[in-house]
Structure formats: C-alpha cells, structure tokens
C-alpha cells in the first residue's frame, strides 16, 4: 500500500575512493575514485520511492552543479523535490575512503549548510502543507538540534509518526531532546553508545535507550547481531553474511527504508527486520548509496532468502 512520506535532512554530493590493495597508512595508496549522491535522508527517500511510496523531500542545497545533480537524481527516483536553495552557497559533501573490501577507513563531512535549516523553516506554508499530507515523517541528524526538537513537537502535535536516522556518533546526540517524540531511530552501535552515554551488548540496547524516552530503535554493528525494540518487545537477529560486499555506504539507510516500508504495511517487527536486512544486502552489493535496482519484487525475493537463514533471539 502506497503511503505519503515526508523526508527532511541531508541530500548532497558523495565522493568515495576505494583502495585497491592492503591499506598503508601515511602513504599513497593505489585505488579508484567515484562520485555519487547521498545523505541519510536522501538515501532513505530514494529507497522508499523505489518501493512505491509517494515521497516528498525537503533538503537544503547550494545553487551549484552539485545541487542540480541532487534535483535530477530526485526526479529520476520519483521523488517530489521541494528544496531550500541557497544560491550563494555550496551544496554539502561527504568524502569517504574505503578499504579494498568496502569497509570505511575514514570520512570527511562538509555539512555546514545544514545549519541554515533553522526551526523557522518548518513554519513555511509549503512545509506545513507537506506535513499535513504525510503518513510518516523521516528526518536525519544532519539537521540542527533545535530544528529536530521543533520537528518532533510538530509531528507529535499532528499525531504523525517520526523516524530518525542517526548519521554519526557526533550528530546523533542532536536527537536526545526529541527522543520522546520519535517512533524509531536507526543507528549503529557507535551511534547508540553516543546517544546512551555507554557501550552495550546487543541485548542491552533496549534497556539503555528506552529510559531516554525512545519507544523504538534498531541498532546494527556491521554483519553482527542486530538489536531492535519497540514499546512492547525487543529482539535480536543474527543476519546471514552479505555477499558480495561492494560498498557499505548507504547499507544502514537501506535497512531503515526496508523496516519502515514493512511497518507502514502494518506488519510486526520480526518481518520488518528481515526486509530491512534484505534491503541492506541489496545496497551492500551495489556501488551506489541508494541502489537504483531496488524495487518491491527484488526486495521480496531477497527477504525470502534472508528469512530462510536468519536466527532470532
């Protein structure tokens, strides 16, 4: 069933270099370089649009070629793009260096433009109308903390579920004050530790994060156990190994889209996690942050494979 989803947050240039052999720190390493488009919000938006939902995107960008590329990519994905454009600014960018096996070595995020997405932007008529149409709102922690707090209050007042994408350990703490207004936060273990103020094993995340006001969350750690909880239950899933792994960029965002898509259909947390893992495996096998081949048929086939080899606890 098609749902109307409003997504607010990052949509920017994604540069990724991959080292061709064993990584040698402090030295020149042979490898390849490519540019894509990314951002947690934009990745989730594209994935949900490719799964058939009506997605509106509100993301700041500059009046440059990179900003135009974001607009073109949004159109290709079937997204209703409603940006805030700052003509005299550069579109944000994310630059990553990857190991030969696709795992991240280091990344640099130039995201200062997102600071201009202030709470007053939420009062714009176009934004208020988009909220009124939405069955779900998704945000990422690229937005300023005060904007996230205002967004959470608005979503709560309207009775609209809000989901958050953690982005990084440094940024996820922007979500702390708004956790009682968020239905779901998607994060890795480092981001969860930053949010909770302590590291934990997968079976402990629900007990650490619920007291902060968070009613639902999914915590990943590469290919290790995935912890998930809602207001009623908590569980862990041991996902099967992903193969091949071409690039880890966007895998967590794909997982979030797969989970949200399933929850929007009224299904429970276990099948939602299976479809989330399936979406993440599709992303891991792709060189793109939001795999263009993703659609509902591919997701269902991959989910059936995942379900047959998944252990719950």
Tokens describing residue 165? 């994408």
The distance from CA 82 to its chain's CA centroid, rounded to whole angstroms, is 19
* Widest distance between CA atoms in the chain: 54
What angle, rounded to 10 degrees, do the helices at 269-284 and 296-308 form? 110
Range of the domain at 56: 4-309
Q: Which residues are within 8 A (CB) of 306 and not within 5 positions of it... i.e. 6 or more apart? A: 239, 240, 274, 277, 278, 281
Q: How many structural domains compose the chain?
A: 1
pLDDT at position 98: 87
CA distance linking residue 19 with residue 30, whole number of Å: 6
Measured distance CA(203)–CA(205) in Å, rounded? 6
Residue among 189, 142, 145, 131 at smallest CA distance from 165: 142
Residue 40 is predicted with a pLDDT of 96
Collect contacts of 292-298 with beta carbons under 8 A, ≥24 apart. Answer: 292/50, 292/77, 294/47, 294/50, 294/51, 294/254, 295/50, 295/51, 296/51, 296/52
DSSP 225: P
pLDDT at 311: 66
- Do β-strands 4-8 and 60-62 pair in parallel, antiparallel, or remain unpaired? unpaired
Bridge partners of residue 95, in order along the sequence = 15, 108
- Dist CA 289 CA 175 (whole Å): 23
Question: 10 Å Cβ neighbour count for 190?
Answer: 15
Task: List the chain residues with pLDDT less than 70.
Answer: 311-313
Give CA angle at 215 (6, 150), nearest 5°: 45
CATH number at residue 103: 3.40.1190.20
For 192-236, write each residue's pLDDT tens digit. Answer: 999 999 999 999 999 999 999 999 999 999 889 999 999 889 999
Q: Any idea which residue has 């399936």 for tokens?
A: 278
Return the residue matching tokens 């793009």. 81
The CB-side HSE value for 109 (13 A sphere, CA atoms) comes to: 17
Alpha-carbon distance 42 to 57, whole Å?
8
Q: Which residues pair with 86 in a beta bridge?
A: 62
Number of Cβ within a 10 Å radius of residue 270: 15
């Amino acid at each position: 069933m098609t749902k109307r989803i409003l997504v607010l947050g990052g949509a920017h240039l994604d540069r990724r270099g991959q080292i061709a052999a064993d990584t040698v720190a402090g030295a020149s390493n042979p490898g390849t370089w490519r540019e894509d488009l990314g951002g947690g919000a934009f990745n989730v938006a594209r994935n949900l649009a490719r799964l058939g939902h009506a997605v509106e995107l509100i993301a700041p960008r500059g009046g440059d070629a990179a900003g135009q590329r974001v607009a073109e990519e949004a159109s290709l994905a079937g997204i209703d793009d409603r940006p805030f454009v700052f003509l005299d600014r550069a579109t944000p960018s994310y630059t990553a260096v990857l190991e030969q096996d696709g795992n991240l070595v280091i990344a640099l995020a130039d995201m200062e433009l997102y600071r201009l997405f202030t709470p007053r932007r939420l009062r714009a008529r176009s934004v208020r109308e988009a909220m009124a149409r939405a069955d779900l709102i998704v945000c990422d922690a690229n937005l300023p903390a005060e904007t996230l707090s205002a967004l959470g209050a608005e979503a709560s007042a309207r009775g609209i579920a809000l989901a958050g994408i953690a982005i990084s350990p440094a940024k996820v703490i922007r979500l702390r004050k708004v956790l009682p207004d968020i239905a779901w936060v998607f994060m890795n273990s480092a981001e969860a530790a930053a949010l909770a103020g302590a590291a934990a094993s997968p079976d402990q995340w629900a007990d650490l994060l619920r007291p902060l006001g968070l009613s639902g969350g999914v915590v990943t750690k590469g290919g290790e156990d995935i912890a998930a909880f809602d207001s009623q239950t908590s569980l862990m899933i041991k996902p099967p190994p992903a193969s091949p792994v071409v690039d880890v960029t966007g895998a967590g965002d794909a997982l979030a889209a797969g989970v949200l898509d399933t929850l929007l259909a009224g299904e429970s947390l276990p099948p939602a996690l299976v479809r989330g893992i399936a979406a993440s495996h599709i992303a891991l096998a792709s060189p793109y942050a939001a795999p263009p081949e993703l659609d509902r048929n591919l997701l269902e086939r991959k989910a059936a494979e995942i379900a047959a080899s998944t252990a719950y606890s």
